[in-house]
Structure 1
Amino acid sequence: MAELPDAAEEAPEFCRRMARAVEYELASLRAVPPDERLALRTERFRRLGSAL
């Protein structure tokens, strides 16, 4: 499926959208206490290892 609009044709706007998405995700992560983030990350990596 084609990417609409094509990022190569509108690079500055694409970069702005990506920056907003990254900013949103980082803000979401910062809202979770550090010890909880660590526990979630540890569990996620354990599940990845068990899937092999």
Structure 2
Amino acid sequence: MEKLKFFDLKAKKYFETDKYEVVVKETKRGKIKIAFAVSPYTNKKFARIIGPAK
């Protein structure tokens, strides 16, 4: 997987990782892909929207 940049809200820092889980969620506007990763600073799970699911 390619590296993605996430933002840790607790530590207020960005981190890059290639260890993330991609989930497809259904919204009112259609399906979107969301990546979830664990922060190395706080060990909490944070999300990032990747884009629309095809």
Q: TM-score normalised by the shorter chain: which range applies?
A: under 0.3
Q: Whose relative contact order is higher, 1 or 2, with alpha carbons under 8 Å and at least 6 apart?
A: 2
Structure number with higher helix proportion: 1
TM-score by length of 2: 0.19
Please report the TM-score for the alignment, with normalisation by the length of structure 1: 0.20
- Which has the higher Rg, Structure 1 or Structure 2? 1
